[in-house]
Structure 1
Amino acid sequence: MRVQTYDEVVHGRRSIRGFLDKPVPRSLIEEVLTMAMRAPSSHNTQPWNFTVVTGEPLANIRAGNVERNLAGVPDSREFRKDVGQGAQHRARQIEVAKQLFGVLGIAREDTEKRTDWVLRGFRQFDAPVAVVVTYDRDLHGGDIAPFDCGGVTNALVNAAWSRGLGCVINSQGIMQSPVVREHAGVPDDQVIMICVAMGWPDDSFVANGVVTNRKSVADAARFVGFD
């Protein structure tokens, strides 16, 4: 297996939402995690922890997530959500939804297919592996631990891609955190931050080919003190 260069990973990585029914070796996941944990960490606190779930426990999480969400059980994610969205943020969210629904042929009025798509997120996109990212509860309430978890999660999906694995960062998958905590056995001294669906990309799943547009450097960056 040829390991990709950093440039190839950054420019080639996509969010993968369709996976082959093929197990991922534990040794490969350990290799990916080892790479990911080289991510920068404030004061080297390394607050992150990972619960890697597959098989029956993951199937139970999928079933519990779907059951509770269809029953209207309120969101119980353990991280703070955005209090609102600016128009530009909402526009970017709508844009990627249009891209996905367009390639999938899901019409705006097709509520059945749209609901099924939402349920895929609750099912961890039917990936063979879900990585639950948590941080130490004694750091809860500050912003540095979640910031570090964001850094290590970015490193995780990039490291996985360099080894041929696809991922999607999935907040829907931990929307019903009691279900995840129960079936994944997440300790009480950990706060559930996010989860990552992981597996071998299914190249026949057209949504996997969607590449999102990104802000330009001109839009995102200011340069101060340069000639």
Structure 2
Amino acid sequence: MQAPGVDAPLGELLRGRRSVRGYRPDPVPADLIREVLADAVLAPSSMNTQPWKFHVLTGDVLDRIREENTRLMLSGAPVQRDVVVSERYEGVHRERQVDIAKRLFAAMGIERHDQQRRLDWTMRGFRQFDAPVSIVIAHDRSLEPIAPIAHFDLGAVVHALVLSAWSRGLGTVINSQGIMQGAVVRREAQIPDDHVIFTAVAMGWPDEDFAANHVRSARESVDDVARFVGFE
């Protein structure tokens, strides 16, 4: 996965980027992450509110979060996310979810009956895929009355973040599994109570030998998802 470069055309970044689920252990310099975030905060936001807050984690702090998040999830502890979601998809959305899972399991050689390896894959998500960096994205609690708008804006900034990282050779995966135990994340990362934890982005140098990193998700065509009204 050769880095396209920070001056790469947008279309090249969009077509080349993929979710990275296997990382080398090499650290990512803080200055490089600052460059990525400096690009990300150029994202549009509703009425220029710029609601995003970033907590950039690595080292022992991230390791403690991984360990406790995994322990609690394996023990059957209830999910404690700041943003309550069911994540139970139906219809075509469920079909797309299943399709990417099948592609990933096929690449990794995980058979349907192999419950141990399927569980291990789930645990990788709770460990934020063992990436050397996790960026926890949050917004001010004062925005909760208009949370859907703030969440829309956070989606924009995360998209800009992952594209900027990709242009610099860094892999990412948007990873809400890693913050399932929000109280653990808040305590270990010392995130203020007035920050609502929304999601996390795992980041690091892609492991080229990790088969799942080369999986591409299927995308619907424009004709399947768009209507053009009023055109000749």
C-alpha distance in 2 between matches for 1:178 and 1:109: 34
Residues 5 and 162 in structure 1, CA contact (< 8 A), matched pair in contact too: no
2:13 corresponding residue in structure 1: 9
1:123 corresponding residue in structure 2: 127
C-alpha distance in 2 between matches for 1:80 and 1:7: 34
C-alpha distance in 1 between matches for 2:145 and 2:111: 41
2:180 corresponding residue in structure 1: 175
C-alpha distance in 2 between matches for 1:25 and 1:127: 14
Query: Does residue 60 of the first structure (1) align with residue 28 of the second (2)?
Result: no
Query: What SS does the aligned partner of 1:60 have?
Result: helix
The alpha-carbon deviation at position 53 of structure 1 amounts to 0.1
Query: Does residue 144 of the first structure (1) align with residue 149 of the second (2)?
Result: yes
* Amino acid of the structure 1 residue aligned with 2:158: T
C-alpha distance in 2 between matches for 1:175 and 1:82: 12
Query: What SS does the aligned partner of 2:54 have?
Result: strand
C-alpha distance in 1 between matches for 2:78 and 2:120: 19
The alpha-carbon deviation at position 10 of structure 1 amounts to 0.4
C-alpha distance in 2 between matches for 1:78 and 1:140: 11
Residues 48 and 134 in structure 1, CA contact (< 8 A), matched pair in contact too: yes
The alpha-carbon deviation at position 5 of structure 1 amounts to 2.4
C-alpha distance in 1 between matches for 2:113 and 2:87: 28
Query: What SS does the aligned partner of 2:56 have?
Result: strand
Aligned structure 1 segments of 4 or more residues deviating by more than 2 angstroms: 1-5, 82-86
2:137 corresponding residue in structure 1: 133
C-alpha distance in 1 between matches for 2:189 and 2:14: 31
The alpha-carbon deviation at position 218 of structure 1 amounts to 0.6
1:223 corresponding residue in structure 2: 228
Query: Does residue 159 of the first structure (1) align with residue 164 of the second (2)?
Result: yes
C-alpha distance in 2 between matches for 1:216 and 1:176: 36
Percent identity of paired positions between Structure 1 and Structure 2? 54
1:212 maps to which of 208, 217, 228? 217
C-alpha distance in 2 between matches for 1:123 and 1:82: 20
C-alpha distance in 1 between matches for 2:156 and 2:203: 17
2:84 corresponding residue in structure 1: 80
Cα deviation code 1:156-209 (max 9, x no counterpart):
101100111000000101111011111111110100000000000010000000
Q: 1:180 to 1:15 in 2, by over 3 A?
A: same
C-alpha distance in 2 between matches for 1:194 and 1:40: 18
Q: 1:101 to 1:58 in 2, by over 3 A?
A: same
C-alpha distance in 2 between matches for 1:83 and 1:152: 21
TM-score, scaled to structure 2: 0.95
Query: What SS does the aligned partner of 2:83 have?
Result: coil
Structure 2 spans left out of the alignment, 5+ residues: none
The alpha-carbon deviation at position 56 of structure 1 amounts to 0.2
Query: What SS does the aligned partner of 1:50 have?
Result: strand
- Name the count of aligned residue pairs: 227
Q: 1:19 to 1:8 in 2, by over 3 A?
A: same
2:189 corresponding residue in structure 1: 184
Q: CA RMSD in A?
A: 1.1
Residues 174 and 180 in structure 1, CA contact (< 8 A), matched pair in contact too: yes
